[in-house]
């Protein structure tokens, strides 16, 4: 049998590959086609919702495209389930929240994806314009709670890549009730004094990965809420902010626990905390177990290593009570750097349910070029390798 000439074979391969690749088949929906306008004050929320409606109804893969430019966008709910599980939201421009914080301030979310499967959000900038609300809160006036900039809820197989989130009113990114989520190459930025502007908050979710991201904000860089399991955080730079926090846990008396969390290769610069576990000082069914903190660098951090089981804001509803949250199996491995306070390691655990299985391995934290100090209350565990400050376990 005669063989085909090489150029023809190559051409046939290219035709076959192009026709079979998902990106080639994906239906394209530009927000401009639905009336979105850049550069002005026209609210493009309806255009975004219309593009989503079409992409969600597509039986094959779909792409929603936001070109370069600045788009004023009010609240948008991207509702599923959809007829396909391959929607790419590709953003080359900037989405800007309403300048009047009251417009979305009483809504819980600015942009929310619900009950979706297989959505990838790639690139772009979200500008929450939260500074006005922050000022209102500092003044003590009656202010709305504020909106989370981006939330995925009750969804699965989600990717958020290369996104920048600026100046959210409240949390920047929330992952709630989700399975299999990958957050990669994200940059979060808000003033170090901005209230409740957590970078990424995860709760009631499993198999979430956060990679290669830079987070500077006024609250936790990453906060890990009840019901989180199988969470992997790697190569994250945090600062300013309140560190990477498991908690607060135990606010509710009946509460899902946190387990199987790995936080590795992180850097904290000028933060309030480094690696923190925080629980309310009152009864609860919650727990935190099988936690690994590995390869962390602390640069002038106030509380580099902290377990605080006596959290009781305003000393209301918990004074004199003990935390019911059981903390166990927490390992700190290869943690180095400088503390901004003399007390670099503090394990302040529940008197009713002491911390168990705490491990310190190769920890070296200094304060003012001298060894720092450690404090343990109701904490049990072991230390190995070089541990400085001297272990109190």
Report the run of H or E that residue 9 belongs to, with start and end.
Answer: helix 6-20
- β-pairing, 164-166 vs 179-184, is unpaired
- β-pairing, 119-122 vs 244-249, is unpaired
Write b or e for each residue in 295-306: b if 16 or more Cβ atoms lie within 10 A of its Cβ, otherwise e. Answer: bbbbbbbbbbbb
**CB neighbour list of residue 322: distance below 8 Å, 6 or more residues apart:** 281, 282, 283, 350, 351, 352, 353
Half-sphere exposure of 147 (CA within 13 A, CB side): 28
Query: Which is catalytic among the residues 242, 295, 336, 378?
Result: 242
User: How far is residue 359's CA from residue 253's CA, in Å, rounded to a whole number?
Assistant: 28
Residue in 130, 50, 129, 146 with CA at minimum distance from that of residue 94: 129
Whether 242 is catalytic: yes
Is residue 325 within 8 A of residue 278, CB to CB? The reply is: no
- β-pairing, 27-30 vs 62-66, is parallel
Is residue 297 within 8 A of residue 266, CB to CB? The reply is: yes
User: How far is residue 373's CA from residue 339's CA, in Å, rounded to a whole number?
Assistant: 10
The structure tokens listed for 314 are: 């305003």
Report the run of H or E that residue 334 belongs to, with start and end.
Answer: strand 326-339
DSSP of 52-108: HHHHHH-SS-EEEEE-SSEEE---EEEE---S-S-EEEEE-SEEE--SSTHHHHTSS
User: How far is residue 39's CA from residue 70's CA, in Å, rounded to a whole number?
Assistant: 5
Residue in 235, 300, 294 with CA at minimum distance from that of residue 272: 300
User: How far is residue 387's CA from residue 383's CA, in Å, rounded to a whole number?
Assistant: 7
The structure tokens listed for 232 are: 């992997």
Catalytic residues: 242
């Amino acid at each position: 049998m005669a063989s085909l000439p090489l150029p023809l074979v190559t051409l046939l391969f290219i035709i076959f590959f192009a026709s079979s690749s998902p990106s080639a088949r994906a239906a394209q929906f530009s927000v401009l086609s639905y009336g979105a306008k850049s550069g002005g004050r026209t609210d493009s929320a309806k255009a975004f919702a219309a593009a989503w409606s079409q992409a969600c109804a597509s039986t094959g893969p779909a792409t929603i495209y936001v070109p370069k430019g600045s788009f004023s966008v009010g609240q948008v709910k991207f509702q599923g389930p959809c007829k396909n599980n391959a929607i790419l939201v590709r953003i080359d421009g900037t989405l800007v929240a309403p300048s009047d914080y009251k417009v979305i301030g009483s809504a819980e979310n600015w942009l929310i994806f619900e009950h979706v499967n297989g959505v990838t959000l790639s690139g772009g900038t979200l500008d929450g314009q939260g500074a006005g609300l922050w000022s209102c809160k500092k003044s003590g006036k009656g202010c709305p709670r504020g909106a989370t900039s981006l939330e995925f809820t009750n969804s699965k197989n989600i990717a958020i890549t290369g996104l920048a989130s600026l100046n959210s009113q409240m949390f920047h990114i929330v992952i709630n009730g989700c399975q299999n989520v990958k957050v990669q190459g994200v940059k979060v930025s808000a003033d170090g004094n901005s209230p409740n502007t957590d970078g990424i908050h995860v709760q009631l979710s499993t198999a979430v990965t956060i990679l290669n991201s830079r987070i500077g904000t006024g609250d936790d860089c990453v906060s890990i809420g009840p019901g989180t399991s199988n969470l992997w955080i790697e190569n994250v730079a945090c600062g300013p902010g309140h560190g990477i926090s498991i908690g607060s846990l135990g606010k509710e008396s009946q509460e899902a626990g946190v387990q199987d969390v790995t936080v590795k290769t992180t850097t904290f610069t000028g933060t309030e905390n480094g690696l923190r576990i925080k629980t309310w000082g009152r009864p609860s069914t919650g727990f935190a177990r099988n936690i690994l903190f590995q390869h962390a660098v602390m640069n002038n951090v106030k509380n580099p290593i902290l377990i605080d089981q006596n959290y009781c804001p305003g000393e209301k509803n918990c004074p004199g009570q003990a935390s019911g949250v059981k903390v166990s199996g927490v390992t700190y491995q290869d943690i180095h750097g400088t503390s901004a306070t003399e007390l670099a390691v503090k394990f302040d655990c529940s008197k009713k349910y002491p911390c168990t299985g705490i491990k310190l391995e190769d920890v070296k934290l200094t304060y003012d070029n001298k060894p720092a100090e450690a404090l343990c209350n109701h904490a049990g565990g072991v230390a190995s390798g070089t541990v400085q400050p001297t272990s109190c376990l």
